[in-house]
Amino acid sequence: MTSVMEIYQLLPKTNCKQCGKSTCMAFAVDLLARKLKVDDCLPMVNNTKYSSDYDKLNKLITPVSGVTETGLIVHEDKCIGCGNCVVACPVNVAADPFGAGSGKAPTSDKVIFKVEDGIVKAKNVQECRRFGENKTICVACIDTCPTKAIEFV
Ligand code: SF4
Ligand code: SF4
Ligand code: SF4
């Protein structure tokens, strides 16, 4: 998973504030949270001395195919449909405590994980605890997956 430090290392580190943030580190945090884009750092766009780092940064931050807008990816080829992530995700438990959150058939359309035809599907990904105002470093789905099918990029 991409870290703030990895992003920061590729930035100009001049704290010039042209992106609207007070430091490059603050920019790195917002870039990782997908609140800003690489192109919001104007020196990286306009100054050729940063072009190699610009390319690396875009590669680091650009979602690969199948990635949701929050960076969550379910590698369907690895998923065995065990349902561990379905009952482990705190959003599932809160949205559907007696259905998906208890390992039963989902009774709410607000859940994130749902097993369909033996493979987990991720929906409502914007509700993930890793995003939004009160974000936490939740790893419940990643940790409980026996096949490493879930990843955040
Ligand atoms: S515009 Fe770029 S170099 Fe300037 S503070 Fe923001 S991230 Fe740093
Ligand atoms: S990181 Fe946590 S809240 Fe987000 S999908 Fe995984 S288990 Fe759910
Ligand atoms: S925990 Fe992993 S293998 Fe099990 S359903 Fe979720 S993604 Fe699939």
pLDDT tens, position by position, 120-130: 999 998 899 98
* Best residue for ligand 1 mutational test, from 40, 41, 57, 58 (most atoms within 8 Å of Cβ): 41
Q: Which of 89, 110, 113, 134 to mutate to test the pocket of ligand 2 (most atoms within 8 A of CB)?
A: 89
Q: pLDDT tens digits for 13-40?
A: 999 999 999 999 999 999 988 789 899 9
Q: What are phi and psi of 7, to 5 degrees?
A: -65, -45
The answer on pLDDT for 137 being more than 90 is: no
Verify whether ligand 3 is closer than 6 Å to residue 122 (CB atom). no
For the chain, how big is the Rg over CA atoms in Å?
A: 18
Do residues 85 and 141 make contact, with C-beta atoms less than 8 angstroms apart? yes
Ligand nearest to the CA of 128: 2
Instruction: Give the model's pLDDT for residue 28.
Output: 95
Q: What is the pLDDT of residue 26?
A: 97
- CATH of 72-152 among 3.40.50, 3.30.70, 3.30.460, 3.30.1490: 3.30.70
pTM: 0.61
Annotation: CATH topology of 4-61: 3-methyladenine DNA Glycosylase II; Chain A, domain 3 (1.10.15)
Token pair recorded at residue 38: 């690489």
Predicted local distance difference test score (pLDDT) of residue 126: 87
pLDDT in tens, 60-94: 876 555 566 677 889 899 999 999 999 999 999 99
Distance CA 94, CA 79 (A): 23
Atom of ligand 1 nearest to the CA of 16: 4
85 CA to middle of ligand 2, Å? 8
Q: Residues 6 or more apart from 112 whose CB is under 8 A from it?
A: 89, 91, 92, 122, 123, 124, 125, 127, 128
Which residue's CA is minimally distant from atom 4 of ligand 3?
Answer: 82
Given a contact cutoff of 8 angstroms between Cβ atoms, the answer to whether 58 and 41 are in contact is no
What mean pLDDT do residues 108-137 have? Answer: 90
Confirm whether 4-61 and 72-152 share one CATH topology: no
Residue 102 has pLDDT above 80, yes or no: yes
Domain-by-domain residue ranges, the chain? 4-61, 72-152
